[in-house]
Amino acid sequence: MDDTGDTALIARCLGGQQDAYEAIVTRYQRGLFNVAFRMLGNYEDARDATQNAFVKAYEHLDSFDPEQRFFSWLFRILKNECLNVLRARRPSQPVSLDLPSARGADPVEVRERQRAIQLALMSLSTEYREVVVLRHYTDLSYDEIAAALGIPTTKVKSRLYTARQQLGELLMDWRVAR
Amino acid sequence: MTNMNDPWPDDEVTRRLNDLPEVDPPSTMVQDVMATIARRGAARATHSVTPTKRGEIMAKKVLWIVAAAAALALVAMRVVGYPPVEKGTEATIGAAQRYQSPQISSADVKTGDAQLQAFLQSDVFRQLTTDKAARQALKNKDFQRALSDPAVRAALVSPDVRNAIAAMGAANTGAKQDAMSVRLEAVSAKYSALAAALEASPALRLALVSPDVVAAMGASNALGVALAKPDLAMFLAQDAAINAVMSAPDVALDAAAAKD
């Protein structure tokens, strides 16, 4: 994600030019939506969370600190939206994993594998899942992840280590079960 | 998207995480966000008009007048004795004729036009219209009957049930109905979630011996997305939604095929 021009676009938005925000949404929708999708495991929920995050970001654009990376700020808003969705889910409610169509030699097997990986991600606690998602599905550095999450960089690294250990065990179980 | 600075570029977990593909955001995301912002801006502008003191006083006056009129009407009814009581019914004691509502059947559950309209304008609906397998399944009467059964809709929410059906479809595309019955028994013996769903709904069993339905449920991602949500699945049992999917021009199908 390239930050070039974000400051200018934000300044134009704050000056009342709504079309500048359209450029911001276009620029960040893919990254933000994929983070939401991996956090929530559901296409519709990810769409709603991303959309709400963009709208709330617009409404509070004047509180954005240009010293920060814009994506990190957007992510903090998105994270709250995702937490709201997760809280609203009943504990017994199954997560419907809307995975994109598989392409390859055996689409059923590919889908099964992707489903198992997403299920493993979903079984991590939110604080572990978010570090894995930010590390593997965005190009944020450790320091940027730490800034986005509001925790020290060392904690990011330790959480990522534990999360990966847990993922390894979960995916190992899945392979054995197969 | 893969982070190139990972200290574990080749390990199993990284490889597995990289197996998850990047997902396209909804094509209407930008328009939807901008429309919501515009709508909220307009609403805020409307609400920000401060009512005048005079307007507030008038509203309070009207409220008092209406309340006084209602109180007067109640007193008058009491004095005049309205509604009149028929002769011979005074002090009648008997069993109360309580209203007993009949059991609600699935046919009684109708969604509002607004909800249906929203569904017809959704991404899922658009995907269904361009999905040949989904359209094939929706034409099937047994499948329509099954979807009108709440037990079936509830069962299809479970990814385990849908995966069991998908596995069945992959092995039996083009199979005869008898062979499908045999296969269904075999698969349900292996997948307890499917066995429980079949137990709960005979309509599901009828639908799943249809090769068209099973093949479509295995092949159609759009159908999978719709069936994962009982409220969306409910629309697919309605004539209006089915007709709308079927009447989508073949141009949409051709375009989807060309894109693939």
Q: Which pTM does this prediction carry?
A: 0.48
Given A18, A108, A171, which is nearest B37 (Cβ)? A18
What residues of B are in contact with residue A55 (Cβ under 8 Å)? 33, 36-37, 40
What residues of A are in contact with residue B126 (Cβ under 8 Å)? none
Band of residue B214 on the pLDDT scale cut at 50, 70, 90: confident
Is the model's pLDDT at B48 over the cut of 90? Answer: no
When pLDDT is averaged across residues A116-144 and rounded to a whole number, the result is 91
Given A47, A59, A94, which is nearest B26 (Cβ)? A47
Which residue in A has a C-alpha nearest to residue B26's C-alpha? Answer: A47
Is the model's pLDDT at B9 over the cut of 50? Answer: no
pLDDT at A100: 55
Q: What ranges in A124-152 are assigned the alpha helix state H?
A: 126-137, 142-149
Contact A25/B24, CB-based, under 8 Å? no
Mean residue pLDDT across chain A? 85
When pLDDT is averaged across residues A67-86 and rounded to a whole number, the result is 91
When pLDDT is averaged across residues B18-32 and rounded to a whole number, the result is 91
Mean residue pLDDT across chain B? 72
Comparing A162 with B227, the larger pLDDT belongs to A162
When pLDDT is averaged across residues A161-169 and rounded to a whole number, the result is 91
Band of residue B44 on the pLDDT scale cut at 50, 70, 90: low
What residues of B are in contact with residue A94 (Cβ under 8 Å)? 157-159
Q: Could you tell me what percent of chain B has a pLDDT over 90? A: 5
Q: Chain A within 8 Å of B108 (Cβ-Cβ)?
A: no
CA-closest candidate to residue A108, choices B38, B111, B116, B163: B163
Q: What is the largest CA-CA distance in chain A?
A: 58
Question: Number of A:B CB contacts under 8 A?
Answer: 115
Band of residue B218 on the pLDDT scale cut at 50, 70, 90: confident
Contact A114/B19, CB-based, under 8 Å? yes
Rg, Å, chain B Cα set: 29
Band of residue A35 on the pLDDT scale cut at 50, 70, 90: very high
Helix H or strand E segment including B226: helix B221-227
CA-closest candidate to residue B180, choices B148, B140, B150: B140
Band of residue A56 on the pLDDT scale cut at 50, 70, 90: very high
**How many C-beta neighbours within 10 Å does residue B162 have?**
22
Contact B167/A108, CB-based, under 8 Å? yes
CA atoms within 13 A on the CB side of B60: 7
In terms of phi and psi (left: phi > 0; alpha: psi -120 to 50; beta: otherwise), the region of B88 is left
pLDDT at A46: 95
When pLDDT is averaged across residues A43-71 and rounded to a whole number, the result is 92
pLDDT at B46: 54
Tens of pLDDT, residue by residue over B70-122, are 898 888 888 877 776 666 666 656 666 666 666 655 455 555 667 777 777 77
Contact B29/A50, CB-based, under 8 Å? yes
Q: Return the minimum-mean-pLDDT range out of A21-30, B49-58, B94-103.
A: B49-58
Contact A22/B34, CB-based, under 8 Å? yes
Comparing B222 with A17, the larger pLDDT belongs to A17
Band of residue B51 on the pLDDT scale cut at 50, 70, 90: very low
Is the model's pLDDT at A4 over the cut of 60? Answer: no
Contact A135/B3, CB-based, under 8 Å? yes
Is the model's pLDDT at B217 over the cut of 80? Answer: no
Min Cα distance B141 → chain A (Å) is 26
Can you tell me the distance from the alpha carbon of B172 to that of B164, in angstroms, rounded to the nearest whole number?
13
Given B13, B159, B167, which is nearest A167 (Cβ)? B13
Given B1, B16, B32, which is nearest A139 (Cβ)? B1
Which of A40, A96, A119, A170 to mutate to test binding with chain B, by most B CBs within 10 Å of its CB? A96
Is the model's pLDDT at A1 over the cut of 70? Answer: no
Comparing B229 with A68, the larger pLDDT belongs to A68
Q: Return the minimum-mean-pLDDT range out of A76-85, B13-22, B238-247.
A: B238-247
Given B6, B30, B40, which is nearest A25 (Cβ)? B30
Contact B16/A167, CB-based, under 8 Å? yes
Can you tell me the distance from the alpha carbon of B246 to that of B188, in angstroms, rounded to the nearest whole number?
31
Q: Chain A within 8 Å of B45 (Cβ-Cβ)?
A: no
Contact A117/B20, CB-based, under 8 Å? yes
Contact A43/B167, CB-based, under 8 Å? no
CA-closest candidate to residue B222, choices B248, B202, B200: B248
CA-closest candidate to residue A138, choices A14, A34, A3, A68: A34
Q: Could you tell me what percent of chain A has a pLDDT over 90? A: 51
pLDDT at A24: 94
Band of residue B172 on the pLDDT scale cut at 50, 70, 90: low
Tens of pLDDT, residue by residue over B115-167, are 777 777 777 777 777 877 777 777 777 777 777 777 777 777 777 777 777 77
